[in-house]
Amino acid sequence: MLSIVKRILGQMKNDKRSLGLLLFAPLLVLTLLFFILSNSNYVPKLAVYDMNEKFVAELENYATVIEETEKPEAADYLEANDVDALIWTDSEGTHIELLEKNSKSVAALESIQDTNKALHPTQNELIIDYVYESVGDNQLDSLSFVFLGVISFFFVFILSGMSFVRERFGQTLERMLMTPIRRVDVIGGYTLGYGILAAVQSVVIILYAVYVLQLQVEGSVALCTLVMILMAFSAVSVGALVSIFANNELQLVQFIPVIIIPQIFFSGLILTPIYYGCTALEMIMIQGKGFFAIWPWLAGSVVFIGVLFLANVTALKKYRRL
Amino acid sequence: MKIEVCEVNKSFKQQQVLNQISLTIEGGRIFCLLGASGSGKTTLLRIMMGAIPADDGSVTIGGITVPNRQLLAEMGYMPQNEALYEELSAWQNLKFFAGLQRLNPKTFAAEAEALLQIVDMTACKNKLVRDCSGGMKKRISLAVALIHKPKLLVLDEPTVGVDPVLRRKIWHYLRQLRNEGTTIVVTTHVMDEVTQCDDAALLRNGHIIARDTVKNLIDQTPDGNIEELFFIDNLSEAEASLC
């Protein structure tokens, strides 16, 4: 098993281009996505009515503020004046009225949060309302963690699937199986070898996303990394399994729409590794949950990897009966 | 190691590739499986090693029924195409397969050096396989099959694409191995190579049409040309016209 791990790492070391693609291509894709999806320098435009002066003064550090003397009708006002949020207070607390959930409204809310932080706020409760309540989650921002998971899954899937197809057609697999090696060791070596590469990739991606792209992570970055590594391991196993049904490299590529795309949209396929991974990532990154909240999802990933492992070991019987 | 093939049948998609093959290969001899391309040589080799199951019949090697994992440790296999890792050097390929065979890493270096000397690859042992020529790959592949000093050596067309000088060297080495007790099974469609072997079987359309020592086989032919054996019963051309 160790021989296979060493061999895979040696192969990668000698194949600089594949290694570069494995490590840097995801970063490039992520960077492009973040440019498209986030307006990190966006200064929100806020309207306030009847707010105390200290609050307004502080808020002006983070946003463009318009002071209204009369309380306007939120929906029409926000749309007509291209304002991101309207803030006012009454006996219930501080109201924040926003148009819809998008990256601009997130920026607006962040500026208010920053203001509150700076002021060490009164116990005033924040009441957030959206004019257009969208179904489900905020789309753009919730996608950021999906992309983190999917991109690494995707690259690892292709890498492991392709190399397995190539082993079969270069007959190196047959040659490998004509030695006393056990099938468990073949799959174990494969999973571990590509798993290590995938884990390195995951760490690079998450560090890049958090420290270079400044992606907001509420929970622990280490926990995120753990989830990504688990996803990467399942990607290796899925790649190896799918390669058995592919008769050549082209067919493996043709499997991508079948295997990956439905998982991205979570279309009822609850039993998919991307679903487990992304749900856990969401809980950590957006909701700031800790290990004890997400362990069922982690356990799900581990079970998935185990099942795929056994499936692969069995499938290898096609090439040697022992 | 004595190999006994007993009434083996094999078909792929209703096409019968091997038909009631029974064959005994004595230990410590060089045995040649001779036949045109597509006559089922490689399939028979694979069944003998246990890579693929036969439809019926059985194979035993040294009294042990195939497939058997312990048996694989005593077997060296060189497939028809190179079956090497392109991104690794010759040395790394050897090291990998030595690892699979659980060779002692301490003695590996000396053994690999000696082996590369025989296949004349010492100078380019650190060259990546993808940069090697066809003949070089063939030599590396042979070295890989020999790395664990197998008692049974299975070579599928070992000298295709190897130049005459090196071919002679390889045959010389194979005979030396046989003298040390290794059983060697070789397939070829190059008739003049048969003379290098001790025994031979002729395979045609899934049947064994002749099986004897090479010397006896040559004596049967009118002019000492072993190719004549394929035409000995005048069936060959009739069968060829069926395709």
Instruction: Say yes or no: B14 and B113 in one domain.
Output: no
CB atoms within 10 A of CB B4: 16
Looking at the domain assignment, is residue B214 inside a domain? Answer: yes
Instruction: Say yes or no: B92 and B203 in one domain.
Output: no
Instruction: Say yes or no: B31 and B9 in one domain.
Output: yes
Task: Write the pLDDT tens digit of every residue in A244-257.
Answer: 888 888 988 888 88
Q: Taking CB atoms and an 8 Å limit, are B96 and A175 in contact across chains? A: no
Residue A239 to residues A243, A252, A270, A276, B25: CA-CA distances in angstroms? 6, 9, 19, 17, 42
Q: For residue A171, which residues of chain B lie inside 8 Å, CB to CB? A: 79-81, 83
Task: Respond yes or no on whether the N-terminal peptide bond of residue B67 is cis (omega within 30° of 0).
Answer: yes
Q: Taking CB atoms and an 8 Å limit, are B67 and A14 in contact across chains? A: no
Instruction: Say yes or no: B157 and B44 in one domain.
Output: yes
Q: What is the 3-state secondary structure (H, E, C) of A40-53?
A: CCCCCEEEEECCCH
CATH number of the domain that residue B243 is part of: 3.40.50.300
Q: Which residues of chain B have pLDDT under 50?
A: 241, 243
Looking at the domain assignment, is residue B172 inside a domain? Answer: no
Looking at the domain assignment, is residue B194 inside a domain? Answer: yes
**Residue B51: which residues within 8 A CB-CB, separation 6 or more?**
A174, A177, A178, A319, A320, B67
Instruction: Say yes or no: B60 and B87 in one domain.
Output: no
Looking at the domain assignment, is residue B129 inside a domain? Answer: yes
ipTM, two decimals: 0.87
Q: Decide: helix, strand or coil at residue B11.
A: strand
A contact residues 180-209, partner B, Cβ 8 Å cutoff: 180-182
Domain range for B98 is: 81-149
pLDDT band at A121 (very low <50, low <70, confident <90, very high): low
Global pTM? 0.78
Q: How many domains does chain B have?
A: 2
Inform me whether the C-beta atom of residue A216 falls under 8 Å from chain B C-beta atoms.
no
**Best residue of B43, B80, B85 to probe chain A, by most A CBs closer than 10 Å:** B85
| Residue A16 to chain B, least CA–CA distance (Å) | 10
Q: Taking CB atoms and an 8 Å limit, are A175 and B77 in contact across chains? A: yes
Q: Taking CB atoms and an 8 Å limit, are B67 and A180 in contact across chains? A: no
- The per-residue pLDDT for A73 is 80
Instruction: Say yes or no: B37 and B67 in one domain.
Output: yes
Residue of B38, B20, B65 lying closest to A321 (CA atoms): B65
Interface contacts A/B by beta carbons within 8 Å: 78
Kindly list the strands in the beta sheet with B64-65, ordered across the sheet, starting from the edge strand earlier in the chain: B15-25, B3-12, B56-61, B64-65
Instruction: Say yes or no: B107 and B66 in one domain.
Output: no
Inform me whether the C-beta atom of residue A1 falls under 8 Å from chain B C-beta atoms.
no
Instruction: Say yes or no: B90 and B200 in one domain.
Output: no
The answer to whether residue A312 scores a pLDDT higher than 80 is yes
Instruction: Say yes or no: B140 and B92 in one domain.
Output: yes
Looking at the domain assignment, is residue B171 inside a domain? Answer: no
Q: Which residues pair with A46 in a beta bridge?
A: A65, A85
Instruction: Say yes or no: B4 and B61 in one domain.
Output: yes
Cα–Cα distance measured from residue A34 to residue A223, given in angstroms and rounded to the nearest whole number: 22
Q: Taking CB atoms and an 8 Å limit, are B83 and A175 in contact across chains? A: yes
Q: For residue A169, which residues of chain B lie inside 8 Å, CB to CB? A: none
Instruction: Say yes or no: B66 and B157 in one domain.
Output: yes
Q: Tell me which chain A residue has its CA closest to the CA of residue B48.
A: A178
Task: Write the pLDDT tens digit of every residue in B2-60.
Answer: 899 988 888 888 888 888 889 999 888 999 998 877 788 888 998 998 888 889 989 99
- The per-residue pLDDT for B50 is 87
Looking at the domain assignment, is residue B168 inside a domain? Answer: no
Nearest CB among A4, A12, A174 relative to B51 is that of: A174
The answer to whether residue A270 scores a pLDDT higher than 80 is no
Looking at the domain assignment, is residue B126 inside a domain? Answer: yes
Instruction: Say yes or no: B185 and B243 in one domain.
Output: yes
Q: Taking CB atoms and an 8 Å limit, are A322 and B67 in contact across chains? A: yes
Looking at the domain assignment, is residue B240 inside a domain? Answer: yes
Q: For residue B96, which residues of chain A lie inside 8 Å, CB to CB? A: 3-4, 6-7, 10
